[in-house]
Amino acid sequence: MSITPLFGLDRRNFLRVAAAGVVGSTWPMMSLSASDTGKRRPPGFGKAKSVLIVLLSGGPSQLDMLDPKPDAPAEVRGEFKPIGTTIPGVAVCEHLPKLAKQTDRWAIVRTLAHREHNHLLATHVALTGRPTPIPRGGSDLDRVESRNDFPNFAAALDFIQPRSDGIPSGVSLPNYLIEGPLTWPGQHAGFLGAKHDPWQINGDPNDKNFRMQALAMREGMSPDRLQSRRQLLESLSRGRQTLSGTETDSLRDQQAIAYNLLTSGKLTQAFEICHESDETRDRYGRNKFGQTLLLSKRMIEAGVPVVQATMGIVQTWDTHVDNWGKLKNTLLPQLDQGLEALTDDLASSGLLDETLLIVMGEFGRTPRISTLPGQTIPGRDHWASAYSGLFAGAGVQGGQVLGQTDAQAAYPITNSWSPADICSTVFNALGVDAEATIADPLSRPHYLLNGNVISNLYTGASA
């Protein structure tokens, strides 16, 4: 079990940036409008103190979850039956019975869409609201994480609203998205630098030995003694100002973050999931995902603004093979149970009113069922042209469905929303000004709110 800040622009990456012709400062500038007086805010502005993104990595099937098409041909509709929900005339998959009874809390968006059908590129789009900033090659090895990438939600928020209270702006758990030589882009601060990377938790909260040892001081080390050592380090550093530079500054930044974390009892206590009752832990599900959601709730209670809870490793929902078996036996039951417990607890504590919940993948699955060469159990392939997501909390009106797809859930036939729109909705909910910008290494400004706020979530207006 470890907590790891992702260290920044090393010498190799710096040379790669230089070779690509990217020049200028690697520490962007930010500008905000001079005055907010008289501005008309979009719906939902500033409603959220925290955002919890439940990432279903790999791409969940819209047809087999939130947008069933029971009248479609057999090669499209799949094996599951639809069940009714609390929303009249609206159905979801039969293996989401708890969600079906709680749709009064959720807005189902059925017309999310973008153009990237590749896992790595689509994940960058989903978590940053933007396509990757430089052309990627034809191989996945050319599409991996880079310090040229755009910052994700948590990193961008940390840049424009830095904290000094020992609470990180972002926490991702329970695993980083890596498969062999491939590291999924969109998971860190990109060109903003390692200083703004969200904290990454690697460990299974369902493991009885789960401990946040990285946030514990070693035996014999007291807060006063740690403060004394920090003062000594600072006094020594003042005599070595000539050694300042990107790598040195990054190290100092990480030292400051580590100190704040070690002395923040609030955050340390939030990781002590063992203090939860057996009844509570059972309600979330005694599995990695259920306990990850419980730990995510504790992060929100501690005041972390952006939490990302990933259900599975990089391609857990990538159901090319055995789509219905994986969904029925593991994925949907765990998701259904975990979300019910999470929303129940947030609602009962009042935190749902100030927490924006988003459940999404990087894309959906193809309408037409297929079988991979050499396989015998069918599944569905990648599909970004139409997919579904769930939104709740922080002013979102539950009990509604936004958007309508065609008879095969292949394309939107009403208004659609992109990851840029989700990005803008997140920042708007967190109270980020519409004029807030960051600058890339070429000093080009980019608005953080680079799409349209999904105002229908708050107004209930039909799409």
Domains (range + CATH), the chain: 42-236+248-459 (3.40.720.10)
Q: Which two three-digit tokens encode residue 146?
A: 């880079």
**Listed residue (50, 93, 34, 85) closest to 68, CA to CA:** 93
Determine the pLDDT at residue 268: 82
| Pure H helices in 72-222 | 74-77, 97-100, 119-128, 153-160
Half-sphere exposure of 146 (CA within 13 A, CB side): 22
398 has a pLDDT exceeding 50: yes
Determine the pLDDT at residue 275: 92
Please tell me which residue, 1 or 387, carries the higher pLDDT value. Answer: 387
Determine the pLDDT at residue 347: 98
3 state SS of 157: helix
Q: Which two three-digit tokens encode residue 206?
A: 């369902």
Instruction: Determine the Cα–Cα distance for residues 405 and 257; give it in Å rounded to an integer.
Output: 46
The model's confidence at residue 3, banded by pLDDT at 50, 70 and 90, is: very low
**In this prediction, what percent of the chain has a pLDDT beyond 70?**
80
4 has a pLDDT exceeding 50: no
Strand ordering across the sheet containing 2-4? 2-4, 199-202, 170-173, 306-310, 50-55, 355-360, 387-392, 107-112, 400-402
**Listed residue (428, 307, 305, 291) closest to 358, CA to CA:** 307
Average of per-residue pLDDT values in the chain: 86
Residues 6+ apart with CB under 8 A from 423: 128, 129, 130, 153, 448, 449, 450, 451
Q: Which two three-digit tokens encode residue 394?
A: 């922080």
pLDDT in tens, 318-343: 999 999 999 999 999 999 999 999 99
Average of pLDDT values for 125-138?
Answer: 88
**Helix (H) and strand (E) counts for the chain?**
14, 18
Determine the pLDDT at residue 95: 98
Phi-psi region of 254 (alpha: psi -120 to 50; beta: other; left: phi over 0): alpha
Total-model pTM: 0.85
If DSSP states are collapsed to H, E and C, what string results for 55-95?
Answer: ECCCCCCCCCCCCCCCCCCHHHHCCCCEEECCCCCCEEECC
Lowest mean pLDDT segment, chosen from 27-31, 316-320, 427-431: 27-31
* Beta strands 306-310; 50-55: pairing state: parallel
Average of pLDDT values for 143-170?
Answer: 94
The model's confidence at residue 211, banded by pLDDT at 50, 70 and 90, is: confident
Q: Which two three-digit tokens encode residue 295?
A: 């730990």
Backbone angles phi, psi at 438, to 5 degrees: -125, 160
Instruction: Determine the Cα–Cα distance for residues 310 and 415; give it in Å rounded to an integer.
Output: 28
The model's confidence at residue 427, banded by pLDDT at 50, 70 and 90, is: very high
25 has a pLDDT exceeding 70: no
Determine the pLDDT at residue 32: 42
**Listed residue (53, 28, 125, 8) closest to 430, CA to CA:** 53
